[in-house]
Structure 1
Amino acid sequence: MSAADPFSDLAEVEVLPGWRTAQGDHVAGLRITLADGWKTYWRAPGHAGIPPQFSFTGSASIGSITPHWPTPEVFDQDGFRSVGYIDSVVIPLTLDHASHAEPIALSGEISIGVCEEICIPVHLDFEAVLPPDSQRDTSIAAALIDRPLSAAEANVGAVTCRIAPISDGLQVTTQIGLPSTGMSEHVVIETGDPDIWVSEADVARSGNQLSATVDMVHSSGSAFALDRSALRITVLGSDQAVDIHGCSRS
């Protein structure tokens, strides 16, 4: 690993080589270690956070690369909610690989925000060769287990979304059939479109029904269409987290 940024003493990244699966995919990981007391952000960091970005342009013999995010923590930062990790995090990667037997050259850059009293963008380079005969890594395995539950694993019931126009965009209210996930519940709704701003969710619970309402505004200020099936809804509770893909018309 080599640093590409003058603030790289606040964070470092290490490639965990991981293992080759029977299907030919390779499971690796990026371990991000921060200076004591500093934090970094989840894929949807909240308004006070800096979204992480990956580039794997220097890699060879790889098709798609899919990151798997462990369950994050929710922080209050100057009255704004942010979502992320303190001190360190391992982000597992699934690499679609064309050959079962050949090593993989993994190379790229990660851009993250790191925060204590202030927030600073940091850019870090990484490079490693992933051999086909590497062993299962307990750190990667633990991070995979620490992911939010799927809707099926959490026994989620009906998930509906009501969409209504507002002066500058859309308001989306989702109703989720889900038993309590803990004393404190936060909901993050993602559209998959970086040009659509999404407000923090107003969350309410009544029995086994959880509701969350957000406003959405396009950066262009123009009207936009919203695909319910593409929405990603993450419930972050003090006891467990749940990852839900899509909702139906209410």
Structure 2
Amino acid sequence: MAFMLRVASIAIFSILSITAVVAQPVKSPASAQGFHSRARLVSGGQQGDSWLAGIEISLDPGFKTYWRNPGDSGLPPRFDWSASENVADVEIRYPAPYRQEDAAGVAYVYGKRVVLPVLVKARDRAKPVRLAMSAEYGVCKDICIPARADMSVDLTADGPDRSAIEAALAKVPRPQVLGAQSELSVLSVEPVTQDKPTLSVTVRAPDGAKPSLFAEGPENWYLSTSQPDDANRFTVTVEEKPKDASGLIPVRLTLVAGGKSIETEVSLDGNGQPR
């Protein structure tokens, strides 16, 4: 049922997004007002051979927007950078979300304000870079409405919003191997006999901090994650997967606790069992 709700939400989002499209000006502004939300495209100067930018979304009290994996029935954000100038590559980094449960199921969300850091590679480092974005993101309280923002910004050396982007980068989960000896760690992944492919994931978290786990598979794989038990064990269930799945399937486990976050990649076989 949760999977069907998720598919239906994405379909509705796509239909409403098409109806929301309006003619774009030749040069979009750096900010946009949306449904109970405001979006800005911000600049943070250079970092090595990349430019720093960010997508800032501010929400009215009580409203939320979604992580890259929205959970059971949310609306994942979508970004189109094709109108950018002198841009070779764009990489979005996602700060850790929080888990919210309601009548619609489990959602992975952001509230109040979030900055999504963006790393930009220029085609020609000697020429100016203009970042242009068309974004669609869900804004939800009792119901979910798609918001659209068409924005652009010149990436300049002064980078007026660098501090906000660096603060957001600090909240992006850091990669970590399975079983790492640290205070926040995914320790083990073991199979559990159930009707659907199921995993028991044991984690370590700082004393007094309740951990949250977010499991992501590739396209057409949907995984649900329980709350932790008293031993910091989560149950991850493969709710949906392609019938003809084969080979090694990458699964990303994002663990959040005590203001820190890590992500650990594990592999499943085509039947959804750990390898």
Same fold (TM over 0.5): yes
Range that drifts further, 136-145 or 232-241: 232-241
Counterpart in 2 of 1:202? 226
Query: Which structure 1 residue ranges, 5 or more long, are not aligned?
Result: none
| CA distance, structure 2, for counterparts of residue 38 and residue 216 of structure 1 | 28
Counterpart in 2 of 1:108? 133
User: Partner amino acid for 2:52?
Assistant: V
Counterpart in 2 of 1:8? 34
1:181–1:119 distance in 2 versus 1, CA, 3 Å: farther
1:189–1:38 distance in 2 versus 1, CA, 3 Å: same
| CA distance, structure 2, for counterparts of residue 12 and residue 154 of structure 1 | 41
| CA distance, structure 2, for counterparts of residue 77 and residue 206 of structure 1 | 23
Counterpart in 1 of 2:147? 122
Counterpart in 2 of 1:243? 263
| CA distance, structure 2, for counterparts of residue 25 and residue 158 of structure 1 | 34
**1:48-127 counterparts in 2 under 5 A?**
48-78=73-103, 80-127=105-152
Name the SS for the 1:43 alignment partner.
strand
Give the structure-1-normalised TM-score. Answer: 0.80
Q: Give the aligned length.
A: 238
Deviation at 1:55, TM superposition (A): 0.9
**1:28-67 counterparts in 2 under 5 A?**
28-67=53-92
Deviations 1:4-42 (A, max 9, x none): x9x8242222111111123x2111111112223211111
Counterpart in 2 of 1:223? 244
Decide whether the 8 Å contact of 1:181 with 1:241 is kept in 2. Answer: no
Decide whether the 8 Å contact of 1:10 with 1:35 is kept in 2. Answer: yes
Deviation at 1:62, TM superposition (A): 1.6
1:55–1:172 distance in 2 versus 1, CA, 3 Å: farther
1:201–1:90 distance in 2 versus 1, CA, 3 Å: same
1:30–1:154 distance in 2 versus 1, CA, 3 Å: farther
| CA distance, structure 2, for counterparts of residue 117 and residue 177 of structure 1 | 33
User: Partner amino acid for 2:197?
Assistant: Q
Range that drifts further, 209-218 or 82-91: 209-218
Counterpart in 1 of 2:237? 214
| CA distance, structure 1, for counterparts of residue 78 and residue 233 of structure 2 | 31
Counterpart in 2 of 1:175? 201
| CA distance, structure 2, for counterparts of residue 178 and residue 172 of structure 1 | 20
| CA distance, structure 2, for counterparts of residue 41 and residue 26 of structure 1 | 25
| CA distance, structure 1, for counterparts of residue 188 and residue 252 of structure 2 | 11
Counterpart in 1 of 2:215? 189
Deviations 1:116-175 (A, max 9, x none): 121111121111111245357111011011222432687336544548795xxx614153
1:69–1:21 distance in 2 versus 1, CA, 3 Å: same
Note the aligned Cα RMSD (angstroms): 3.1
| CA distance, structure 2, for counterparts of residue 151 and residue 183 of structure 1 | 19
